[in-house]
Amino acid sequence: MDRLVNAVMDLVVPPASMVMLAFAWPTLSFLRGVEWALKTLTKEDMLGKVVVITGASSAIGEQIAYEYARRNANLVLVARRERRLFGIRDNARQLGAGQVLVIAADVVKEDDCRRLVTDTVSYFGQLNHLVNTVSLSHDFTFEEAGDTTAFPHLMDINFWGNVYPTYAALPYLRRSHGRVVVNASVESWLPMPRMSLYSAAKAAVVDFYETLRYEVKDEVGVTVATHGWVGGDAGGGKFTLDHHQEGAAEVQWKQEEREAAAAALPGGAHVEAYARALVAGACRGDAYVKRPSWYDVFLVFRVFAPDVLAWTFRLLLSSTPAAAAGPTTSAITARRPPPAALPAPPVRPLLEYPMQKLE
């Protein structure tokens, strides 16, 4: 009986839902427009509010800091290396920010996250917005990784680098009825070749905050911002993992060069537009910010015509060499080791079971 019911539902529900959505779309669009207008008129005044921005040395984090500065907020800029944050602090002050603190912390370490939140609340007495912008992409296929060194590194930054600061800040955000803003990506639901681990981490981040939204209810707002390619934050160098001490120094230098050159990339204007939309949406209390929004059309294909989407990617992207990506993708570049022969099968079985005579 269950099979029959599910078979009927599979045939009836999708087309019926599309018809209902087609008739309801004008009304829904009108209601969304009215909601947007009301939220714009009653948007949050950030004067004197306290905003913590993790990953503030990245291109997106920097531009978000400037947007909050224009709204006269107090800023706490967080990154692993504070050297570049001093210049961002000076620029933010010139744009109208109140007091600006610079804190060196690694957001993949829970103790560092507790410390930066405690220092913020001890100095300002409150915390209103937590903006998580830490992100690290890669440009290699799963098999090209060579070893698994990069795997936990990517998950730590893209997932735990969002979870740990949120966990530390949540009690204070409840007290101020504040907001968590997360910088996600369209790859969380639109898989892209050569970005398997990054896409998986971003999908985990989005699902985590979607669940958290229902747990905190109306006490803490959650804004999930997704972007396509915006340049800046995803270009200007490559992040190569190396186990040697000398290689590690080279990695750090390349990352700093990437951050310093990010603002000069052709996509800098897109980064500014994305940061402006993100901060404006957070101040309005929007649950989602999408820039650009036309990527949503792929959701329809993914649900109702996934084969079309798969064929498109195979035709346009799967055969594209990595070098053609240029500066649009960055972060970790794996060095593929020479192919090795598969190990020979064992002479004897790994597990031996006692043979029982069948009667």
For residue 198, indicate whether it is catalytic: yes
Q: What share of the chain is helix, strand, coil (3-state, %, to 5)?
A: 55, 10, 35
For residue 3, what are its two tokens?
A: 């099979």
Contact 77, 85 (CB under 8 A): yes
User: For the ranges 194-203, 261-270, 325-334, which has the lowest average pLDDT?
Assistant: 325-334
Mean pLDDT of the chain: 79
Q: Which of 209-223, 280-294, 343-357 shows the highest mean pLDDT?
A: 209-223
- The per-residue pLDDT for range 112-121, each reduced to its tens digit, is 999 999 999 9
Can you give the pLDDT at residue 166?
A: 97
Can you give the pLDDT at residue 268?
A: 59
Residue 172 has pLDDT above 90, yes or no: yes
Of 284, 305, 320, the C-alpha closest to 37 is 284
Can you give the pLDDT at residue 197?
A: 86
- The per-residue pLDDT for range 1-17, each reduced to its tens digit, is 788 888 888 888 888 88
Residue of 66, 68, 198, 274 marked catalytic: 198
Of 289, 58, 81, 76, the C-alpha closest to 182 is 289
Q: How far apart are CA 65 and CA 80, in angstroms?
A: 16
DSSP letter at 71 equals: T
Give the chain's radius of gyration (CA, Å).
24
Exposure pattern of 270-306 as b/e (b: 16+ CB <10 Å)? bbbebbbbbbbbbbbebeebbbeeebeeeeeeeeeee
- The per-residue pLDDT for range 323-338, each reduced to its tens digit, is 444 433 344 544 555 5
Report, as an integer, the average pLDDT of 210-220.
94
Of 210, 181, 209, 184, the C-alpha closest to 198 is 184
Single-letter amino acid, residue 149:
T
What is the share, in percent, of the chain residues with pLDDT greater than 70? 76
Superfamily the domain 44-241+257-317 falls into: NAD(P)-binding Rossmann-like Domain (3.40.50.720)
For residue 152, what are its two tokens?
A: 């936990």
What predicted TM-score, i.e. pTM, was given to this entire model? Answer: 0.77
For residue 311, what are its two tokens?
A: 């064929």
Beta strand pairing status for 129-132 and 50-54? parallel
- The per-residue pLDDT for range 293-312, each reduced to its tens digit, is 777 777 777 777 778 777 87
User: For the ranges 149-158, 181-190, 332-341, which has the lowest average pLDDT?
Assistant: 332-341
Can you give the pLDDT at residue 38?
A: 86
For residue 86, what are its two tokens?
A: 């001093």
User: For the ranges 57-61, 90-94, 138-142, which has the lowest average pLDDT?
Assistant: 138-142
